Amino acid sequence: MNIATSLSQVISQALNALYSIEQAPSDIVLQETRRDFSGDYTLVVFPYVKQARKSPEAVGQEIGAYVKEHLADVAGFNVIKGFLNFEIADSYWLQFVAENGANSQFGIRKSNPDDAPVVVEYSSPNTNKPLHLGHIRNNLLGWSVSQLLAAAGANVKKVNLVNDRGIHICKSMLAWMRYGNGETPESSGMKGDHLVGKYYVEFDKHYKEEIKQLMESGVEGEQAKKEAPLMVEAQQMLKRWEEGDPEVRALWEKMNGWVYAGFDETYRRLGVGFDKVYYESNTYLLGKELVQKGLDLGVLFRKDDGSVWCDLTGDGLDQKLLLRRDGTSVYMTQDLGTALLRHNDFGAEQLIYVVGNEQDYHFKVLKLILGKLGFPWADKVYHLSYGMVELPNGKMKSREGTVVDADDLIDEMEQTAADMSREHGKNDDLSDDERQHLYHILALGALKYFILKVDPTKNMLFNPAESIDFNGNTGPFIQYTHARIRSIVRKAEGSCRWSVAGGRLNDKERAVIKALHALPDTILAAAAAYSPAMVANYAYDLAKAFNSFYQDTPILRESDDNLRAFRLSLCAFVANALKNTMNILGIEVPERM
């Protein structure tokens, strides 16, 4: 039991004994004491003043005295107006280090593989273009949330749904047939996903030209978009695909094969992966079966043109299309099928979809329709909605070719990491292979940390140069702190031992230990909020506390052997905590820099 839990229990007893106020320990709110006050934990006593019929200062004094008498780990207290500040005894913090410092998994809960899993879907790319900066936030967030939930004890399954069919795929296929001249990844030297993306852009260029010509001949704008020959042919190709046309299917398989090879390489470079991959081409038919079930149940209806809809006006939304008039499916169709398949595959405790906030409406509809179809697990669907990533020059558009490709961004980050490392002289004693590995992990650390430190719900502006600074709230700063600690421990040559030093802690030691003490609760709180940002900013605060301790406190130069050993053990504890928290973010920390 940690000290905050013990404090809450004794405060609950004090309220009952002193003022006949009944409040459960879980409802006692403790805060970290402000830096301008003396203490470790603070209780705001104003909520109890009315029932106690005493001044805030008197209530604070009485509760403080009761707690100090009944809880040995409280060394003292002070009251400032309505704030009761408790100072925790050094013996508690020292014992905490002695009991937990050597635990390499401190703060990490072990999951039970027999528990119903939490299924986290992320990535969900379209096979008509390479992964870009927006996909990077999705993949990093999905991977990190999965790691975070696992660290909190959940049995997590990571899945990917590849959108490998639909009109967007047909656009790339048709453009390649028209303008590709048989070009392949081998003949062009391009990654397959980049090659297919090239023809998606090519389709849009020629499509716009056709629209322009139609409008110049007097056709209205919206009608021109529908009547443009390329769009008509793409729609016909989609219908032929759904009918199983051998020629269309063969081209589809070939071009998707190029894309999958490209995706796998990008996933490897990003350090993300999946336990299972689903394909829309395999799930949309199950979705169609559910649409028929909905028609049979009377919860869906067919319009005169043959299209199928769900009326959600009674739920405060609108009517939602599920099948087009030509019988082809839409995204919602396949998502219905995928949800059922995934539930049947895993018997999931929760189905988490990591998808951008532009799809908030889509997932409201998905839950509603699943419920109307009679699935009691519909309320287990959770949309982890996140904000968009923008660059200093604005939004990206795939069809216009203005996206920042993930591969290009990683290359740029690695080059920047190399330049900055050389500038700081941090790799002179490394071999060429060690340098290249260091540049890679610094680049990915900068990229991942910069994206993940932002609350998922917020839009963000990604600045590559700012992300890789070795100072400030960045991944490389934390990575360098870990490398510095590992260097200290190596120089100690085994002098680190898990013993408790005597005497009082200084303020810097206490700050580091308090930060370490907060790790388990931070992980649980972050998991409950699906927020890797809380873990990222915890790691930064811990690194700051350590660097302040390192600057002001002798470690290797400490003459007292016991105190030196204690401080070395504290260093090793911090290094392990940084390694574990950064691992939750998918970031590797170097042993040397």
DSSP letters, 543-587, are HHHHHHHHHHS-STT-S-HHHHHHHHHHHHHHHHHHHHHHHHTT-
Whether 210 shows a pLDDT value over 80: the answer reads yes
| 271 and 233, same domain (yes or no) | yes
Question: Which of 38, 64, 88 corresponds to the end of one domain?
Answer: 88
Residue 357 is classified by DSSP as G
Q: Name the token pair of 271.
A: 């350090």
| 84 and 129, same domain (yes or no) | no
Q: For the chain, how far is it from start to end, CA to CA, in angstroms? A: 38
At residue 580, the pLDDT reads: 97
| Residue 103 within any structural domain of the chain | no
| Residue 113 within any structural domain of the chain | no
At residue 253, the pLDDT reads: 96
| Residue 100 within any structural domain of the chain | no
| Residue 466 within any structural domain of the chain | yes
**Calpha distance 559→485 (Å, rounded):** 19
Instruction: Give the tens place of pLDDT for each residue, 183-193.
Output: 999 999 999 99
**Calpha distance 523→521 (Å, rounded):** 5
- Average pLDDT value for the chain: 92
Determine the structural domain holding residue 75 and report its residue range.
3-88
| 424 and 511, same domain (yes or no) | yes
> With bands split at pLDDT 50, 70 and 90, how would you rate the model's confidence at 401?
very low
At residue 593, the pLDDT reads: 82
Question: Which of 400, 420, 446 corresponds to the end of one domain?
Answer: 400
Strand 276-279 to 118-121 pairing: unpaired
**Alpha-carbon dihedral angle through residues 69, 72, 76, 82, given to the nearest 10 degrees:** -60
What average pLDDT does the segment 357-369 reach? 95
Q: Are the C-beta atoms of 511 and 505 separated by less than 8 Å?
A: no
Whether 176 shows a pLDDT value over 80: the answer reads yes
**Calpha distance 526→528 (Å, rounded):** 5
> With bands split at pLDDT 50, 70 and 90, how would you rate the model's confidence at 419?
confident
Whether 140 shows a pLDDT value over 60: the answer reads yes
The DSSP result for 383-415, as a single string, is EEEE--EEBTTB---GGGT---BHHHHHHHHHH
**Alpha helices per DSSP H over 116-183:** 133-151, 167-179
Q: Percent of the chain at pLDDT above 70?
A: 95
- Domain total for the chain? 3
| 391 and 416, same domain (yes or no) | no
**Alpha helices per DSSP H over 271-405:** 280-297, 331-346, 360-372
| 411 and 370, same domain (yes or no) | no
| 126 and 67, same domain (yes or no) | no
What average pLDDT does the segment 212-236 reach? 93
Q: Name the token pair of 260.
A: 């999958």
**Calpha distance 219→227 (Å, rounded):** 9
> With bands split at pLDDT 50, 70 and 90, how would you rate the model's confidence at 500?
low
| Residue 115 within any structural domain of the chain | no
Q: Name the token pair of 566.
A: 């204690």
The DSSP result for 437-473, as a single string, is HHHHHHHHHHHHHHHHTS-TTS-EE--HHHHT-SSSS
SS3 state of residue 61: helix
Q: Which H or E run contains 76?
A: strand 74-80
**Alpha-carbon dihedral angle through residues 291, 297, 298, 300, given to the nearest 10 degrees:** -20
| Residue 93 within any structural domain of the chain | no
The CATH number for 528's domain is: 1.10.730.10
What average pLDDT does the segment 453-477 reach? 88
Whether 148 shows a pLDDT value over 50: the answer reads yes
| 334 and 421, same domain (yes or no) | no
| Residue 108 within any structural domain of the chain | no
At residue 400, the pLDDT reads: 46
Q: Are the C-beta atoms of 211 and 226 separated by less than 8 Å?
A: no
Whether 426 shows a pLDDT value over 80: the answer reads no
Burial 476-495 (b: 16+ CB within 10 A, else e): bbbbbbbbbbbebbeebeee
At residue 417, the pLDDT reads: 86
Predicted structure pTM score: 0.90
| 190 and 326, same domain (yes or no) | yes
**Calpha distance 461→394 (Å, rounded):** 9
At residue 425, the pLDDT reads: 67
| 513 and 566, same domain (yes or no) | yes
What average pLDDT does the segment 107-134 reach? 93
Give the residue carrying structure tokens 């053990």.
569
Whether 331 shows a pLDDT value over 90: the answer reads no
| 23 and 155, same domain (yes or no) | no
> With bands split at pLDDT 50, 70 and 90, how would you rate the model's confidence at 499?
low
Whether 381 shows a pLDDT value over 50: the answer reads yes
Q: Name the token pair of 373.
A: 């179809």
Spatial CA neighbour of 143 closest among 578, 476, 532: 532
The CATH number for 33's domain is: 3.30.1360.70
Q: Name the token pair of 83.
A: 């704030």
Higher-confidence position of 1 and 522 = 522
Residue 313 is classified by DSSP as G
Residue 303 sits at φ, ψ, to 5 deg, of -80, 170
At residue 402, the pLDDT reads: 52
Residue 256 identity (one-letter amino acid) = N
Distances in whole angstroms, Cα of residue 347 to Cα of each of 111, 114, 285, 333, 410: 17, 11, 21, 21, 37
At residue 495, the pLDDT reads: 54
| 395 and 489, same domain (yes or no) | no
| Residue 418 within any structural domain of the chain | yes
Whether 144 shows a pLDDT value over 70: the answer reads yes
SS3 state of residue 248: helix
Question: Which of 378, 400, 422 corresponds to the end of one domain?
Answer: 400
What average pLDDT does the segment 17-41 reach? 94
> With bands split at pLDDT 50, 70 and 90, how would you rate the model's confidence at 399?
very low
Whether 551 shows a pLDDT value over 90: the answer reads yes
| 471 and 543, same domain (yes or no) | yes
